[in-house]
Structure 1
Amino acid sequence: MTFTEHEGSVDQLCWHKTNPELLCTAGGDKTVRIWDVRQIKCCSTINTKGENINIRWSPDGKTIAVGNKEDLVTFIDTRTGQKIVEKQFNYEVNEIGWNNSGNLFFITNGQGAVPIFQYPELQVLHIAKGHCGTCICIDFDPTGKHFAVGSADASVSIWLVESFVCVRMIPRLSWPVRALHFSHDGNLLAAASEDLFIDISEVSTGARVIDISVETPTFTVAWHPKRYILAYACDDKEIYDRKKDVGTLKLFGFSS
């Protein structure tokens, strides 16, 4: 399938939490689009105020949050396609997302912190401070117990969702952490960066389980929903040796 209706770059996509036929995309053409893969077409287009770079679907599937390059976050009602609210921030907004219950909304920012908001009130409940560099990415454990944050300081922090307490730091990478993903059971965490390996950690201890060698920077990783199989894609920019195996999606699996 190829979806071609965006008129600019597509920087991020997100699947509906419970409906495997629906996904949404954040476009540099100042739109958010919802796609039905059964019909291979866009079923809703929402115009926004800026070039969109981050997008997340709420756990109940009723809301999409999208962040743009001007640090504006827009919340969209997926049933009507209408904007619920827009919130402008006075700091750099990076990845965004809800906890598994959908009552908390998280933002990674350029101040080395993660503001946590009550949702839908969008009142600041807590600010998780654990990094000395920009917080870039965030992911939530499928069991609802932990969330992890990746930072420009090349470290990963693991936090308890209930208490917002940082329980461990993972400092093994040398470059800014660009992507994180918990395994289906919440036991493992994959972290990727410009390092030439993907770090796989045991969540309960932070200990390294294995590192996966790569030949170019890795900016996206995703675990299989039921098995210890990790999908990842590496950078394929022209500055790298084209003879290397780049520009491909790879899978890595191992037994428990």
Structure 2
Amino acid sequence: MRLDSDASNRSQSPLHNYTNGSTRSPESRSKVANGESHPRSESNGSYTNGNSNGPSMPATFFGHDREEVTRILIQSLTDLGYHKAAGSLCKESGFQLEGPTVASFRSAVLKGEWAEAEELLFGTTSYDNGGGINLDGPEGYGKSWTKSGRLTANMRHTGGLKLAEDANRDQMLFWVKQQKYLELLERRDMGKALMVLRQELTPIHQDVGRLHALSSLIMCQSAEDLKSQAQWDGAQGESRSHLLSELSRSISPSVMIPEHRLAVLLDDVKRSWIDNCLYHNTSISPSLYKDHLCERDVFPTKAYTELRSHKDEVWFLKYSNDGTMLASTSKDKTVVIYDATTYKVIHQLVDHESGVTHLAWSPDDTKIITCSAQLDCTARIWDVKTGRCIRCIRDFTYPCTTAAWAPNGKSVVIGSQDRNFACAVWDLEGKMVHNFHGPRDNIRVNDLAISPDGRRLIELVDKRILVYDLASYERLREFYIDEDKCTSVTISKDSERMLVSMNKSMIKLMEIDTGETLQAYDGRKQEEFIIRSSFGGADENFVVSGSEDSRIYIWRMNGQLVETLDGHQEGCVNSVAWHPSNPKTFASAGDDSRIKIWHPVPLKGPDVSNGWNR
């Protein structure tokens, strides 16, 4: 069973002869185990301040503690695989990566020697009743006096590693006992496993829910069944390394340096650069050779292509999942599919009898579903290759507002203003599979979205946000928005956050599981109409939205406004779609019946096209 945090990306620090005593015996270990009997505290794994045979070194290195820098370098050389260089640095500097007790503790965990690991981590407790012979006679030897009249033995704690200030000792002990228990189950030593569960894990009272889950594992019929049920890879897998990683987080960093410390520090530097780089729009990690800063001229701020295939307001547009096509819907009752390289028209779909409000690409981009307004009130499924309508769902008496594909591509979820079918699942034959609401619910859905991992369905109903488990159709959460009406929703690639557009003029980034608002984006205008916002840029670093003032607004994820772009004539910019594989391109759709393609630098100045002759 995994620990609370994911340690799948961590690796154990190698153990080498310069760890200063990884093979020490228990007798010699007790002398350096951070207890009273050791004349020097093993607080940082070092025993000299530099090489005593060479010239004296300053205690600092450009203002940083020399010992800390050196030990981090030793660890980093080890992580890089330069073990001889790490050993040489230990020898020349006189500093060790870690002291003998830490090395022995690491070895004990990785070898599954749990009694030794506990003793090294937490130390030992001994009792002293002050000497002499108990008045009760030989039977009383070693017994302490109780409150009823006996003396209480003096408890003496020795040894143990220094823990971090916020360390939870019981939690750490629970993790060790849990690993011990699972390994006994893996070996099918059920008797000892049951004793550990009852006599060692249960008294800790750390996690009742986890205890119940652990106790159920006794019923596993085999080691493989155990690994599957516990989501644990066994004693010979990475479980011991993962345990060591978790425990090391609770040990004082002066004693046991956190894993991959230099890499973490470098990540922090790069993250600071990126956070302070207004136009950062690449997933490529910045170079360490120079400070990082992106210029405005590498950001899409110019509309270099204009598409005029529609004859009325363009309400929505979306790139295909692979980025090879762009599709748009319009008040002129048509849907246009473009080649996203040349922006030539591939198909113009004309079967709808009213304005087309929304579209969604199937997971494999072979189909699209489109939704139409009054009076048509239909949802149509189209074959992208042929441009032919392969299914028309006519059950609605009010407009279809939105749709999304199930992850397997075998069904769709359609939202509408029809109270009878406000939000329902339909198969590709046009048969309803599940209806989330009935007429009595009096619900009309403004927008919906399915999370990329396929687990959650988000539904917007005026001032409410409903979250469902897509597989079971169970409603998991319901969030109320007091001040605004929710109009559109987009879910992040990690399936953890949702971007919700609201009247009046607000966009909120919210956590799906809790409904907590993580960030708000303001400045644009949305008071009467549906304006759809979305994530954009490399790694979804940006939020982008149209506006009722004919502009496009782009913010950093942290809420900082990056650009306000003029590009459409009077009316709303209804939808903006960022290219899924080219972070330097996005498309916008406006009431001026135009689609604009934005790029950092125009190729030959602004180009005008009707979408047919390019």
Work out the CA distance in 1 between the residues paired with 2:524 and 2:333: 34
Structure 1 letter corresponding to 2:471:
E
Write the distance in 2 (CA, Å) between the matches of 1:168 and 1:81.
39
| In 2: Cα distance, 1:162 partner to 1:228 partner | 27
Residue type matched to 1:236 in 2? E
Q: Which amino acid in the other structure matches residue 82 of structure 1? A: R
Is residue 122 from structure 1 mapped to residue 435 from structure 2 by the alignment? Answer: no
Task: Say whether residues 1:108 and 2:108 are aligned partners.
Answer: no
- Per the alignment, residue 498 of structure 2 pairs with 189
Tell me the distance in 2 between the aligned counterparts of 1:215 and 1:84: 39
Q: CA deviation at 1:37?
A: 2.5
Asked whether the equivalents of residues 391 and 429 of structure 2 are also in contact (C-alpha less than 8 Å), the reply is no
Correspondences of 1:52-67 after superposition (within 5 Å):
52-67=356-371
Distance, in Å, in 2 between the alignment partners of 1:156 and 1:197 is 15
Q: Deviations along 1:94-128, whole A, 9 cap, x unmatched?
A: 1112122212211112228311112x222111111
SS in 1 for 2:363: coil
What's the counterpart of residue 394 of structure 2? 88
Aligned counterpart in structure 2 of residue 206 of structure 1, from 493, 505, 515: 515
- Report the AA paired with residue 89 of structure 1: D
After superposition, give the CA deviation of every residue in 1:215-255 in whole Å (9 maximum; x if it has no partner): 52272221237635342325334xxxxxxxx7222123139
Counterpart Cα distance in 2 of 1:203 and 1:29: 36
Q: Give yes or no for contact 1:200–1:210 (8 Å, CA) kept in 2.
A: yes
Selected match of 2:451 from 141, 156, 181: 141
CA distance in 2: counterparts of 1:207 and 1:132, whole angstroms: 26
Whether the 8 Å contact between 2:392 and 2:430 is mirrored in structure 1 is no
Letter in 1 for 2:532: T
Mapped to 1, the partners of 2:536 and 2:544 lie a distance apart of: 11
Instruction: Name the CA shift for 1:123/1:139 in 2 (closer, same or farther; >3 Å).
Output: same
What is the CA–CA distance in structure 1 between the aligned matches of 2:480 and 2:546, rounded to whole Å?
21
Describe how 1:2-17 pairs up with structure 2 within 5 A: 2-17=306-321
- Are 1:219 and 2:531 matched, yes or no? yes
Whether 2:461 is the aligned partner of 1:151: answer yes
Looking at structure 1, the residues matched to 524 and 329 of structure 2 have their Cα atoms a distance apart, in angstroms, of: 28
Counterpart of 2:72 in structure 1 is: none
Could you tell me how far apart the structure 1 residues matched to 2:337 and 2:320 are? 10
- Runs of 5+ unmatched residues, structure 1: 238-245
**1:73 equivalenced with 2:374 (yes/no):** no
CA distance in 2 between counterparts of 1:65 and 1:104 reads 11
Q: Report if aligned partners of 2:547, 2:553 keep a CA contact under 8 Å in 1.
A: no
Q: Is the 8 A contact 1:98 1:105 kept in 2?
A: yes
Q: Contact conserved, 2:367 with 2:383, CA < 8 A, in 1?
A: yes
Alignment correspondent of 2:165: none
Tell me the amino acid that sits aligned with residue 513 of structure 2.
S
Aligned equivalents of 1:81 and 1:234: distance in 2?
29
| Alpha-carbon separation, structure 2, partners of 1:196 and 1:79 | 39
Aligned to 2:469: 160
- Per the alignment, residue 26 of structure 1 pairs with 329
User: What is the deviation of 1:185?
Assistant: 0.3
Please say if 1:231 is aligned against 2:507.
no
Share of identical aligned residues, percent? 15
- Contact (CA 8 Å) 1:173, 1:193: kept in 2 or not? no
Larger radius of gyration: 2
Other structure's SS at 2:467 match: strand
* C-alpha distance in structure 2 between counterparts of 1:79 and 1:96, whole Å: 20
TM-score of the aligned structures, taking structure 1 as reference length: 0.86
Q: Contact 2:448–2:457 at 8 Å: present in 1 too?
A: yes
Larger helix percent? 2
Residue 251 of structure 1, aligned match among 555, 563, 570: 555
Higher relative contact order (CA 8 A, sep 6+): 2
Secondary structure of the corresponding residue to residue 162 of structure 1? coil
Distance 1:133 1:214 in 2: 30
Per the TM alignment, residue 196 of structure 1 is displaced from its structure 2 partner at its CA by 4.0
1:231–1:251 CA contact under 8 A, matched in 2: yes
Q: SS at 2:532's partner residue?
A: strand
Q: How many residues align?
A: 244
Q: Which segment drifts farther, 201-210 or 75-84? A: 201-210
* 1:39 is the counterpart of 2:39: no
Please tell me whether the aligned partners of residues 536 and 544 of structure 2 are also in contact (alpha carbons under 8 angstroms).
no
Q: Which residue of 2 aligns with 1:242?
A: none
Greater share of strand: 1
Distance verdict in 2 for CA 1:2–1:129, change over 3 Å: same
1:74 Cα offset (Å): 1.8
Structure 1 counterpart of 2:336, one-letter code: R
Structure 1 residues 38, 162: closer, same or farther in 2, change over 3 A? same
Residues 248 and 191 of structure 1: is their aligned pair in 2 closer, same or farther, counting only changes over 3 Å?
same
Assess if the C-alpha contact under 8 Å between 2:391 and 2:430 holds in 1: no
SS at match of 1:178: strand
Question: Could you say what secondary structure the match of 1:164 adopts?
Answer: coil
Task: Please give the TM-score of this superposition, normalised by the length of structure 2.
Answer: 0.38
